[in-house]
Amino acid sequence: MKPWAPFVLALSVVSGVFAASSSAEKLQKYQSLSRSGPVDLDSAAFEELTSAPRDYFTAVILTAKDARYGCLMCREFDSEWNFISRSWNKGSKPDDLKMVFGTVDFDQGKAVFQKLPLFSYSPPTFGPFAKVETDPARFDFTGPLSADQLYAWISRHLPDGPIPPLVRPINYMRIISAITILMGVVTLFTVLSPYVLPIIQNRNLWAAISLIAVLLFTSGQMFNHIRKVPYVAGDGRGGISYFAGGFQNQFGMETQIVAAIYAVLSFATIALAVKVPRMEDVKGQQVAVLIWGGLLFGTYSLLLSVFKTKNAGYPFYLPPF
Amino acid sequence: MAEPSSLDVLLKGSSGRNTRGLLRIVILLTVAAAAVASRLFSVIRFESIIHEFDPWFNFRATKYLVENGFYSFWDWFDDRTWHPLGRVTGGTLYPGLMVTSGVIWHVLRLLTIPVDIRNVCVMLAPGFSGLTALAMYLLTCEMSTSPSAGLLAAAFMGIAPGYISRSVAGSYDNEAIAIFLMVFTFYLWIKAVKNGSIMWGALTALFYGYMVSAWGGYVFITNIIPLHVFVLLCMGRYSSRAYIAYTTWYALGTLGSMQIPFVGFLPIRNSDHMSALGVFGLIQLVAFAEFVRGFLPGKQFQRLLTSMVLLTFGIGFAGLVLLTVSGVVAPWSGRFYSLWDTGYAKIHIPIIASVSEHQPTAWPAFFFDLNFLIWLFPAGVFMCFQSLKDEHVFVIIYAVLSSYFAGVMVRLMLTLTPIVCVAAAMALSAVLDNFLTLGKPTPPSKVNADGSKFFGSGKGPMVGIYSSISKLFVSGTITLYLLIFVAHCTWVTSNAYSSPSVVLASRMPDGSQFIIDDYREAYYWLRQNTPDNAKIMSWWDYGYQIGGMADRPTLVDNNTWNNTHIATVGKAMSSREEVSYPILRQHDVDYVLVVFGGLLGYSGDDLNKFLWMVRIAEGIWPDEVKERDFFTSRGEYRVDEEATPTMRNSLMYKMSYYNYQSLFPAGQAVDRVRGVKLPAEGPQLNTLEEAFTSENWIIRIFKVKDLDNFGRDHSNVVAFDKGLKKKRATKKKGPRVLRTE
């Protein structure tokens, strides 16, 4: 794993009464920068922002947005981070609760990344919200995260009291595009309805969709989707093992094999029930019955043997397999 | 062929009809008897005992009902659970199950058959499964013209493991009667749609109301019937029959369901029920449009229809959004929502995600529960597409939806099983009807076939099977599959679904049976050795059993209605003693019960569930309980030498392994579940003392110590008793106070 991939949020508070003037200046400076979002910081600015006498909180995210670093999460979370800081800046909050949001990108602030684990700020100071522990609180991102979760964490580290609510900005683009797409679809449908309606009303199509859905669901496709199982796995000897060991496990490919087996069995049954009795040729019917019946028998035997590998104590089997 | 004439007398004409009717009744009774008999393994092997967890609560509630009468049961406030909150039990349960067995008990007493209420409860599920087989026969007969389909479906339903899993003798749970009610309601609904009669619609509503009183799964019916009607409307199959059936059902059924206190006003306030209301409105409009169509010329009618559809859709949608936002209509309930967004429960409701029944289903489970029905099922669905009458549309919708649900949640296999039996019976009977006829068809001369355009229906009319070799081959193999099915069902029932899980059975090395009865041993110890109102704290899984078997008040139980209270117990279990003790004192806890499988290798013990306790507690106190602290730096969950300090100091760890090393030679203690060697030095408990440990160490009960007489700290007391030198306090402290939070 790359050292910067799990980006880090540092929230630190140190406040100084005796150096209030410089603190106020800094606050003024960075707050004016962060009207619309978090301040972009480089190493020097980060130093200045977090240097000792200050009576405000800082929340800084260390990230690597550039495509070179391949940090997908960094880029995904950037917009969330933006809107956290925006809702903070715009919302109403107690006068003496001040906070600056910042972003340090790896390109601009390599030094910060290097010294972050050694973070320690010395002066214990006195102020309305000063804490004895001066180490910044760290939040390690271990997976995708929504702004609400992070905001809940931040608010736990702030003193008790009202804080601005998280207001998710209304995504006008999305609403407009949704309406446009909807209208487009309606228009398209109206124009194409003479051609589309026969397809929609086609019984074969619906039968195919329903059967495929049933086959997928009964072969454990939802399990793959929820548990994110691997497609296939090696068997440790250089080969591929198609079937996962154990009753509660499965591979992606395994479920497809099982679905195919079910499909073959079903269609053999359908053929025997529907097709064969309609055949008028005596010989041909005899052959068809033997083929479909044999296929049914062999495939079912295969299915039982596959199930036996999953469940070792299973006592039943059919001859060929 | 000795006496063909006498056979002809029996099988042809009106006496033949009677013979077939009699045979049918005999077969159905045999199927019902087989359904009951295959569920009795546990009674024969163990004894007539209530199983598992939830049934113990239902049993306790039933006892309360027959002792105190119906009205006090309706108003029951239970102060012996969820101490100190209590639970408004009468208003928060589905009373159908208890009332049913209460009525049966009273009827039996009226007939002067003296029977214990416990036996009524134990045998209720098998009895109702016999009725389910009959209801399944009726339902399938509505779907298929083949006379054998209904009988096959009844037989499948009677012994399919997917249904047996929740209805063996002693499994006294809501599903025991709910599946019968569900199948029967569907039968009545199909009848109502076919006949368009108010009587059948009202009967549907009646049984729907009964279903609502019995099981929370009634929401499935509430949504699938409107969906059926909706699809019929979309297919342009509006008929006055559907209108009569649906409006009758909706009006009466909704009124009926609102009579249950637990349901109350949900049918008009909860999004789960909104589809039924919406389709009710829609069908009125369609009916009105049909009415107007008779008076207006085509062109004007088209315009009117289009504008009306757009208008009502817009108004309806806006109204629903408005009502949801303003809070009049509750949004989707969490359990329902987690069916669609499969990641939802894991993030937002860990208590739902923690239940093993709510896990997704792997494919072996489908085959295990349904055997060869699972591949007959798609064939049956295909058959439905062939004729595609109104009732077949119902089968298709039900099949697709319930196979999705069963894939997402293991327990919903139960709702899948009925439709699988219907579809499989339709497919199999279609095969058997062709291959089991004795007569040989004559090859037809050229007939002008007027086949439909449906690809599977073949081009020509049904001819039949010519050669008896074909018939013999196919019917022989199908008989073989059926025999395997019966053997499979018996094997599965006997091996997997007949354990009471209160009493465990295992095999000794020499093959003899070894009964592990630790649960009852411990619960009876509590019953006989503790005061009547001693509060027992345990993880919620065991709450119902403690209430039912030990008859002692508990802090949390399987009803999980108060997540914070459960998180409190989780916090007490996962924190250090110094943190836990004040929690225990504040909640008046006298005894703490833990389940420990380390000695026997019983894997369902509390240490394996421990992470869920941590997670649920973390959901409420994220700063005090952290899941990360229970994993080593390499991310492993360990209990041995390398366990994290948080793990080792947690109350659960200490209680589980307290004194455990004394069973082994020094330094040899082994945990057989997790397969690890334990530290030589066992944990030390200061604020609790061991009160009872069952024979196989599965259940351990600890008594919470009272405050020390001299006002000392418990750790100091233990140190003093051991003769250790007292550590001198460096500075004077204030008076001791009970630590809060």
In a domain, residue A134? The reply is: yes
A36 and A98 part of one domain? yes
Question: At which of B296, B312, B334 does a domain end?
Answer: B334
Whether chain A has a CB inside 8 Å of the CB on B362: the answer is: yes
Whether chain B has a CB inside 8 Å of the CB on A85: the answer is: no
Query: A103 by DSSP, 3-state: which?
Result: strand
> Are B252 and B207 a contacting pair, CB within 8 Å?
no
Low-confidence ranges of chain A (pLDDT < 70): 1-24, 26-27, 31, 33-36, 50-55, 67, 70-73, 94-97, 109, 111-147, 157-161, 169
A219 and A304 part of one domain? yes
β-strands A99-105, A39-41 pairing: parallel
- Rounded to an integer, what distance in angstroms lies between the CA atom of residue B72 and that of residue B146? 50
Q: Count how many residues are written for chain A.
A: 321
Of A156, A266, A277, the CB nearest to B623: A156
A219 and A178 part of one domain? no
- Rounded to an integer, what distance in angstroms lies between the CA atom of residue B589 and that of residue B568? 12
Whether chain A has a CB inside 8 Å of the CB on B675: the answer is: no
> Are B218 and B212 a contacting pair, CB within 8 Å?
yes
A207 and A190 part of one domain? no
Suggest the residue from A142, A189, A201, A210 to mutate for an interface test with chain B (most B CBs closer than 10 A): A210
> pTM of the entire structure?
0.81
A123 and A146 part of one domain? yes
Six-digit token string for B663: 């069973």
Tell me how far CA of residue B63 lies from CA of A200, B57, B411, in angstroms: 56, 10, 27
- Rounded to an integer, what distance in angstroms lies between the CA atom of residue B12 and that of residue B21? 12
Tell me how far CA of residue B133 lies from CA of B28, B31, B100, B377, in angstroms: 8, 7, 19, 18
Helix (H) or strand (E) run with residue B536 in it: strand B535-537
- B146 CA: distance to closest CA in chain A (Å): 12
A146 and A213 part of one domain? no
Nearest to B80 by CA among B557, B562, B699: B557
* Burial status of residue B553 (CB atoms within 10 A of its CB: 0-12, 13-18, 19 or more): buried
Q: What is the DSSP string of B641-685?
A: TT--HHHHHSHHHHHHHTTGGGGSSTT--EETTTTEEPPSSPP--
In a domain, residue A117? The reply is: yes
Torsion over CA of B190, B194, B195 and B200, rounded to 10 degrees?
Answer: 10
In a domain, residue A163? The reply is: no
A99 and A175 part of one domain? no
The domain in which residue A26 lies consists of 8-157
Amino acid residing at B171:
S
In a domain, residue A3? The reply is: no
In a domain, residue B436? The reply is: no
Whether chain A has a CB inside 8 Å of the CB on B479: the answer is: no
- Beta bridge pairs of residue A8: A62, A140
- Rounded to an integer, what distance in angstroms lies between the CA atom of residue B228 and that of residue B241? 13
A318 contacts in chain B (CB < 8 Å): 480, 484
Q: How many domains does chain B have?
A: 2
* Cis check: omega of the bond before B84, within 30 degrees of 0: yes
Strand residues in chain A grouped as ranges (E): 8-14, 39-41, 56-63, 99-105, 137-140, 233-234, 240-241
Phi, psi for B736 (deg, rounded to 5): -70, 135
> Are B479 and A298 a contacting pair, CB within 8 Å?
no
Question: At which of B279, B314, B334 does a domain end?
Answer: B334
Cβ neighbours of residue B700 closer than 8 Å, sequence gap 6 or more: B593, B594, B595, B596, B655, B656, B658, B690, B692, B693, B694
- Rounded to an integer, what distance in angstroms lies between the CA atom of residue B405 and that of residue B389? 25
Q: Count how many residues are written for chain B.
A: 741
In a domain, residue B280? The reply is: yes
- B670 CA: distance to closest CA in chain A (Å): 25
A189 and A299 part of one domain? no
A216 and A232 part of one domain? yes
Q: How many helices (H) and strands (E) does chain B have?
A: 31, 8
Whether chain A has a CB inside 8 Å of the CB on B721: the answer is: no
Tell me how far CA of residue B494 lies from CA of B47, B201, B487, B508, in angstroms: 15, 40, 10, 19
Predicted local distance difference test score (pLDDT) of residue A1: 35
Predicted local distance difference test score (pLDDT) of residue A34: 64
In a domain, residue B644? The reply is: yes
A64 and A118 part of one domain? yes
Q: How many CB atoms lie within 10 A of CB A165?
A: 10
Q: Given the structure tokens 């449906």, which residue do they identify?
A: B454
Whether chain B has a CB inside 8 Å of the CB on A279: the answer is: yes
Whether chain A has a CB inside 8 Å of the CB on B485: the answer is: no
Of B374, B386, B481, the CB nearest to A218: B374
Predicted local distance difference test score (pLDDT) of residue A188: 87
- Rounded to an integer, what distance in angstroms lies between the CA atom of residue B477 and that of residue B667? 60
> Are B528 and B80 a contacting pair, CB within 8 Å?
no
Question: At which of B334, B369, B386 does a domain end?
Answer: B334
Which chain A residue shows the shortest CA-CA distance from B455?
A204
Interface of A with B in 184-223 (CB under 8 A): 203-204, 206-207, 210-211, 213-215, 217-223
Q: How many domains does chain A have?
A: 3
A263 contacts in chain B (CB < 8 Å): 378
Of A220, A222, A270, the CB nearest to B379: A270
Tally A–B CB contacts below 8 A.
186
In a domain, residue A164? The reply is: no
CATH number at B601 reads: 3.40.50.12610
Low-confidence ranges of chain B (pLDDT < 50): 1-3, 447-453, 455-457
- A275 CA: distance to closest CA in chain B (Å): 6
In a domain, residue B647? The reply is: yes
- Rounded to an integer, what distance in angstroms lies between the CA atom of residue B331 and that of residue B353? 20
Contact A289 B473 (CB under 8 A): yes
A146 and A58 part of one domain? yes
Which chain A residue shows the shortest CA-CA distance from B468?
A286
Q: How many CB atoms lie within 10 A of CB B518?
A: 23
Which chain B residue shows the shortest CA-CA distance from A210?
B400
| Residue B586 CA, distance from chain mean position | 35
Q: Which ipTM score applies to this complex?
A: 0.84
Three-state SS across B167-202?
A: CCCCCCCCHHHHHHHHHHHHHHHHHHHHHCCHHHHH
- Give B594's DSSP letter: E
Helix (H) or strand (E) run with residue B516 in it: strand B513-516
A275 and A226 part of one domain? yes
Whether chain A has a CB inside 8 Å of the CB on B426: the answer is: no
Nearest to B377 by CA among B347, B398, B358: B398
- Rounded to an integer, what distance in angstroms lies between the CA atom of residue A62 and that of residue B43? 64
The domain in which residue B713 lies consists of 515-721
| pLDDT tens, position by position, B385-407 | 988 889 999 999 999 999 999 98
In a domain, residue B173? The reply is: yes
Please name the residue ranges forming H helices in B144-174: 147-159, 161-164
Interface of B with A in 607-666 (CB under 8 A): 622-623
Whether chain B has a CB inside 8 Å of the CB on A6: the answer is: no
Six-digit token string for B323: 């009502």
Contact B466 A215 (CB under 8 A): no
| pLDDT tens, position by position, A277-309 | 888 888 888 899 999 999 999 999 999 998 988
Whether chain A has a CB inside 8 Å of the CB on B148: the answer is: no
Of B362, B383, B404, the CB nearest to A220: B362
Helix (H) or strand (E) run with residue B702 in it: strand B699-704
> Are B242 and B193 a contacting pair, CB within 8 Å?
yes
Suggest the residue from A133, A204, A289, A310 to mutate for an interface test with chain B (most B CBs closer than 10 A): A289
In a domain, residue A319? The reply is: no
